[in-house]
């Protein structure tokens, strides 16, 4: 990749906009990581209307505590290195694949850093989908404020492939690559890594939930968070529809979807209840979710959710 002469991020671009936010500042591993990626990045600046979104499953648990309750207690969105849980691969541990990917991508900036200082992962929602940039990782997402773009790094494709194409807000040539590739909708994202804490009260525009969680403990927990709550159009799919796509993840997962389904239908709440019941292999249920996310998305006619609530 050809790069121009890199401009180092300044203190103002590294910090969140709100006074008192704990951004990376000018020193420390986050600032070093940002400078390293900026030196390798090329392309035009990011569109200021785009947002980083952090997709996740809102009805999962962490060490026996509901994830939204944990977020309410801490006031932050934590990385997989802190929680030990995740929405994709579970390799965030010293010496694990995620550790090695970060070491390579950020030139060792985080090798000796505490888990709490490591970046969190999401996607750049350049298509402005109401479901967030990467619904394969969960039906819900946190939509982050525009200011967070300045302390985010980006890569394409996913960092698990150790890509050489990287970007920062000032130089982002990755979107054109993603559009040209024409990947499956669940793989059609530019990965984002957010450096510095994601404070729910300062850095989040909204938590966006699936309507299947209305009236459930998930909604009740979401309303205790210090950020607005919104609803997207929803994921819902019939087993009959999934039967038309046995090769997408495998016929055995369609069979599992039929066993999990309620009245022949699946949505995020139904899939989450199957996970909580613990009767099926979590990796297999994850592939059922991929089916729901891929074939069950309601028509996404707007860039942002239409129903906004506190």
- Higher pLDDT pick, 283 / 81: 283
Q: Which residue has the tokens 């121009």?
A: 4
Would you kindly state where each structural domain of the chain is located, as residue ranges?
Answer: 11-209, 237-295
State the pLDDT at residue 96: 74
**Whole-number Å distance between alpha carbons of 140 and 58:** 6
**Whole-number Å distance between alpha carbons of 234 and 231:** 8
Residue 302 scores a pLDDT above 70: no
Q: Which residue has the tokens 């090769």?
A: 247
100-121 average pLDDT score: 94
Predicted confidence band of residue 23 (pLDDT cuts 50, 70, 90): low
Q: Which H/E stretch holds residue 81?
A: helix 80-83
199-209 average pLDDT score: 99
Predicted confidence band of residue 245 (pLDDT cuts 50, 70, 90): very high
Q: Which residues, including other chains, have CB under 8 Å from residue 276's CB and lie 6 or more apart?
A: 59, 61
Least confident window among 86-90, 102-106, 286-290? 86-90
Determine the length of the chain. 310
**Whole-number Å distance between alpha carbons of 33 and 118:** 10
- Higher pLDDT pick, 189 / 6: 189
State phi, psi for 294 to the nearest 5 degrees.
-75, -40
State the pLDDT at residue 127: 97
SS3 call for 266 = strand
Which residues of the chain form beta strands (DSSP E)?
Answer: 52-56, 61-62, 65-66, 76-77, 120-124, 140-144, 152-155, 166-168, 190-194, 198-199, 204-209, 229-231, 237-238, 265-266, 307-309
**Whole-number Å distance between alpha carbons of 165 and 163:** 6
- The per-residue pLDDT of the chain, averaged, comes to 88
**b/e per residue 71-102 (b: at least 16 CB within 10 A):** bbeeebbbbbbbbebbbbeeebeeeeebbebb
133-183 pLDDT per residue, tens = 999 999 999 999 999 999 999 999 999 999 999 999 999 999 999 999 999
Predicted confidence band of residue 9 (pLDDT cuts 50, 70, 90): very low
Check: CB of residue 187 under 8 Å from CB of residue 116: no
Check: CB of residue 239 under 8 Å from CB of residue 246: no
Check: CB of residue 107 under 8 Å from CB of residue 157: no
Predicted confidence band of residue 21 (pLDDT cuts 50, 70, 90): very low
């Amino acid at each position: 990749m050809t790069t121009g002469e890199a401009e180092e991020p300044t203190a103002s671009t590294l910090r969140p906009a709100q006074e008192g936010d704990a951004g990376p500042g000018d020193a420390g591993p986050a600032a070093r990581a940002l400078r390293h990626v900026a030196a390798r990045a090329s392309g035009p600046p990011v569109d200021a209307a785009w947002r980083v979104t952090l997709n996740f499953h809102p009805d999962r648990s962490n060490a026996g505590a509901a994830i939204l309750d944990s977020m309410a207690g801490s006031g932050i969105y934590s990385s997989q290195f802190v929680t030990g849980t995740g929405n994709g691969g579970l390799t965030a541990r010293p010496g694990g694949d995620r550790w090695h990917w970060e070491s390579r991508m950020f030139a060792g900036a985080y090798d000796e850093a505490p888990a709490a200082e490591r970046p969190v992962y999401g996607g750049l929602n350049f298509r402005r989908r109401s479901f967030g940039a990467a619904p394969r990782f969960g039906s819900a997402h946190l939509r982050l404020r525009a200011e967070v773009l300045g302390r985010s790094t980006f890569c394409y494709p996913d960092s698990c492939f150790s890509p050489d194409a990287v970007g920062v807000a000032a130089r982002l040539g990755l979107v054109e690559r993603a559009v040209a590739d024409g990947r499956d909708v669940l793989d059609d994202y530019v990965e984002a890594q957010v450096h510095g804490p994601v404070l729910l009260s300062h850095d989040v525009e909204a938590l966006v939930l699936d309507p299947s969680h209305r009236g459930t403990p998930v909604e009740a927990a979401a309303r205790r968070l210090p950020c607005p709550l919104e609803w997207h159009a929803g994921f819902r799919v019939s087993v009959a529809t999934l039967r038309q796509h046995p090769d997408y993840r495998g016929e055995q997962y369609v069979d599992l979807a039929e066993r999990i389904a309620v009245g022949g239908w699946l949505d995020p709440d139904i899939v989450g209840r199957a996970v909580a019941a613990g009767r099926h292999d979590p990796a297999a249920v994850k592939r059922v979710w991929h089916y729901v996310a891929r074939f069950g998305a309601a028509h996404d006619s707007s860039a942002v959710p239409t129903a906004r609530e506190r």
